[in-house]
Structure 1
Amino acid sequence: MNAYRKGMLAVASAALAALAAAHTAHAADAKLSIMVGGATKIIYLPARLTEQLGYFKEEGLDVEILSQPAGVDAENELLAGAVQGVVGFYDHTIDLQSKGKEVEAVVVFGKVPGEVEMVATRAAGQIKSMADVKGKTLGVTGLGSSTNFLTQYLAFKAGVAPSQYTVLPVGADNSFMAAIRQSRIDAGMTTEPTISQLLKTGEAQVLVDMRTAEGTTQALGGLYPASSLYMQRAWVEGHKDQVQKLARAFVKTMRFIKAHSAEEIAQKMPKDYYGNNRELYVKALGASLPMFTDDGRMPAGGPETVLKVLSSFDPTVKGKHIELGRTFTNEFVDHVAR
């Protein structure tokens, strides 16, 4: 009888081990959903480019790229557990920690925001700097978005209080351009390729340029790490193998961007990203390439700049103790380099 029981236990143990192995394999192969705060924005190019280059598949990953027009909406999807990762601005990790949410950037794509404060040409005579936005309406992608954060800081730095101007959420791309055309906003913050489109039509002009390290340092006082892949810390801790594969795929993409021209990169993108104006898209992409990191690492001093900016105006961050070391990790990208 004992031998029989032992045999049955052995069979049961083997079955349980097989089930556990199958569950682990299924978890590793499970679809990962990544929400992008506006997939067609060039600042978030690495998300779709990685898919186009086949790097997710090379890592054995099944990744679904989804898009929301504003980063704050993508952030909410992550907190609700609807997606596993967000390609959005790093500053959300600091803002969320101040609210008791643990989120960290695992790959950093942009060492600068890639954002530009554009002023409508009809208002350019009145608005020559951010000090002139009193009584004006400023467009952002969404309330609580990174464009909103940066707009508030630039106004604050210029001595303009939030009560002295109006912020209007107008989205990005076509909806942003429509807001300029319809005179619903006097100025607003947007990214490429919208910047180049507005410059080409002459409907808007550059007021503050944060597409380069020089422009960003002048506007914000240092490098401002921006577009990144961020995830809930608890999920990262429980899925290190999948996160490592994601990091490897994205670092390959950053190296591809570094080694290729705007024209060569554009050839890899879906046609709907540039529509009927491929030449304009290539030009916008060329203007944006300096913003990207070479290796996905967090730039030194970057988190401190972001914290300084948010602490100046964000009531949820101001005066709070923020552990910057818990808002990002280089663990996974460093492993790729080894």
Structure 2
Amino acid sequence: MVKRRVVLGWGLAASCGAPAALAAPVGTVPRVRVVVQNSKQIKQLPLILANRLGYFRSEGLDVQLQDLPAQAHSLPNVAQFPAEVFAGTFERTVLLHAQRRPHQAFVLMSRAPQVVLGVSPNALPGHATLKDLVGCSIGVAASGTLSHRVARLMLLRAGLRPTDVNFVEVANADRALEAFHLGEIDALSYTDPVITRLELGGVIRVVSDTRGLRDSDHVFGGPVLCTCLSASREYVEQNGEVCQALTNGVVKALKWLHTATPSDLITHVPESHMGGDRAVFLAAFNKSRETLATDGTIPLQGPVNVIRALDRLQLNLSLAGVVPAETYTNRFAQRAKAQFKV
């Protein structure tokens, strides 16, 4: 149980690691605000369900989730958005280290980005491969977002340069579906449930997929980590009880998700996270379930491969001084793993 009250400010000083733990008055529950990147995606379900199923409350926390604004989803903007506790891609932690603002991931939620690149059979023949995308238009959420970065890595694996294709921004799920159906784009790099909806409709052919560990390892050259909880190193050091409580809740939710039945999911996952179609959501979840972390621990090679991927993308980032071992800690997840036998 957490015995300290946490007051989270939203100024830039807080995002850089200003301490925020104060003594809690007797009988109060510490409140923690977590900024969430792409809260309705499957890779955020461990956080969403830890809150919804009462796991954080049972650990003595009142967790409030704040969506990251849509305009802040490119990597540089994500790094600048103030958050003492952040739920999103590990790349943010790497970028903050590169900016000499040391942060640490402290519990892993997903082991792959769950981004898929699919082509329209109308635009490309059935035997088309990634190499056949030269000159084609590819829809992505926005420039610099995860769907854009993963698409570029997929193309690099096939020997293509980003300038060999045209990236088109399709800012939300409805717009992505519309652009694909109208033939405004030849291919789409996106997450579920959009891709699964198109697959079930028989109108897309997947050519590269990171919803499975094997395929994700192929794209990145080995295991990676995607969604995690992170905070400044100073915050982690000064608020260990809070980080442990958050980790415990997430690890319990991960254990629940790996054994949840379709009925369990329909009962407990918010309707707003199902994209308006329960059947599509369940199909999408089954495709990505194995990429959810099992026990919250971060694999040794994961940070190394993420840094290598960012380096390959040539994003004008100076990553030479980033030490992988300093970007994360497993001490909280190891305790939770032992406690909950996962």
Fold match (TM-score > 0.5)? yes
User: Does the CA contact (< 8 Å) of 1:106 and 1:332 recur in 2?
Assistant: yes
- The one-letter amino acid paired with 2:192 is E
User: Does the CA contact (< 8 Å) of 2:88 and 2:229 recur in 1?
Assistant: yes
User: Does the CA contact (< 8 Å) of 1:36 and 1:86 recur in 2?
Assistant: yes
Q: Which residue of 1 aligns with 2:36?
A: 36
Structure 1's consecutive aligned runs of 4 or more residues displaced over 6 angstroms after TM superposition are none
User: Does the CA contact (< 8 Å) of 2:98 and 2:319 recur in 1?
Assistant: no
- Whole-angstrom CA distance in 1 between matches of 2:295 and 2:209: 24
Deviations 1:190-236 (A, max 9, x none): 22222211112233221101111111122222122112122222322
| TM-score normalised over the length of structure 2 | 0.83
- For the residue of structure 1 that corresponds to 2:24, the secondary structure is helix
Structure 1, 227-236 or 240-249: larger mean CA deviation:
227-236
Report deviation, 1:152: 1.6
Ranges in structure 1 where 5+ consecutive residues have no aligned partner: 1-21
Deviations 1:248-298 (A, max 9, x none): 111111111123234423321122322652122112112211111110111
Deviations 1:44-78 (A, max 9, x none): 21121111111111122121223345773697466
Q: Is 1:61 aligned to residue 61 of structure 2?
A: yes
The structure with the greater share of residues assigned to helix is 1
Q: Cα distance 1:47–1:23, how it changes in 2: closer, same or farther (>3 A)?
A: closer
- Whole-angstrom CA distance in 1 between matches of 2:139 and 2:36: 20
Q: Which residue of 2 aligns with 1:328?
A: 328
User: Does the CA contact (< 8 Å) of 2:244 and 2:332 recur in 1?
Assistant: yes
- Whole-angstrom CA distance in 2 between matches of 1:160 and 1:74: 22
Structure 1, 204-213 or 87-96: larger mean CA deviation:
87-96
- The one-letter amino acid paired with 2:177 is M
- Whole-angstrom CA distance in 1 between matches of 2:310 and 2:74: 19
Report deviation, 1:185: 2.7
- Whole-angstrom CA distance in 2 between matches of 1:100 and 1:131: 38
User: Does the CA contact (< 8 Å) of 2:78 and 2:92 recur in 1?
Assistant: no
- Whole-angstrom CA distance in 2 between matches of 1:218 and 1:145: 20
- Whole-angstrom CA distance in 2 between matches of 1:249 and 1:91: 23
User: Does the CA contact (< 8 Å) of 1:263 and 1:282 recur in 2?
Assistant: no
Q: Cα distance 1:168–1:98, how it changes in 2: closer, same or farther (>3 A)?
A: farther
Q: Which residue of 1 aligns with 2:73?
A: 72
- For the residue of structure 2 that corresponds to 1:48, the secondary structure is helix
Q: Which residue of 2 aligns with 1:208?
A: 208
- For the residue of structure 1 that corresponds to 2:192, the secondary structure is coil
Deviations 1:66-103 (A, max 9, x none): 3345773697466443x332222212322332233322
- Whole-angstrom CA distance in 2 between matches of 1:137 and 1:242: 45
User: Does the CA contact (< 8 Å) of 2:74 and 2:143 recur in 1?
Assistant: no
Deviations 1:136-176 (A, max 9, x none): 22222232222222122222222222222222332343232
- RMSD over equivalenced CA pairs, Å: 2.7
- For the residue of structure 2 that corresponds to 1:124, the secondary structure is coil
User: Does the CA contact (< 8 Å) of 1:220 and 1:305 recur in 2?
Assistant: yes
- Whole-angstrom CA distance in 1 between matches of 2:138 and 2:76: 23
Q: Is 1:108 aligned to residue 108 of structure 2?
A: yes
Deviations 1:292-319 (A, max 9, x none): 1110111232222222222112243466
Map 1:284-295; keep pairs closer than 5 Å.
Answer: 284-295=284-295
Q: Which residue of 2 aligns with 1:25?
A: 24
